[in-house]
Amino acid sequence: MSLLKIIPKVIYDDINTGIRFFTALGFEVKYAENDFCIMARDGVTIQLIASEENFIIGDRPEFRIETDDIEGYYAEIKAQNPEILHPNLNVIKHQPWGLTEFAVSDETSVCIIIQQR
């Protein structure tokens, strides 16, 4: 048995904020209904939820997406949407723990670290 992927659920006050952000990362809407949206790219799936209750607003999620072409994905984001590059990791960096990484974030501080082994 192997675990194959994680499908995060990200909560937004306004779901359109999440849709804009993940569209900038090259994701496409696969399903949308009221305050729920499923977006996907290259076999990676993200669920977006709108919540007026504003819970978890002070602790926005951070997760990782693994790629097999970090240079290509970085070039794509830098050329098309450089404003989403995270200020603390806005270039590709070889980390001492063996990963190569860069990060992006949305206007609500949801952070995604893009990594390659």
The tens digit of pLDDT for each residue in 33-88 reads 988 999 999 989 999 988 866 555 566 777 889 999 999 999 999 999 999 999 99
At 27, list the tokens.
Answer: 């994701």
User: Is the pTM above the cut of 0.85?
Assistant: no
* Helix extents (H) in 25-106: 70-80
Strand order in the sheet with 100-105: 62-66, 111-116, 100-105, 93-94
Domains and CATH numbers, the chain: 9-116 (3.10.180.10)
Using alpha carbons, list the distances in angstroms from residue 66 to 48, 50, 56, 114, 115: 19, 26, 25, 6, 5
Using alpha carbons, list the distances in angstroms from residue 101 to 8, 37, 74: 19, 27, 10
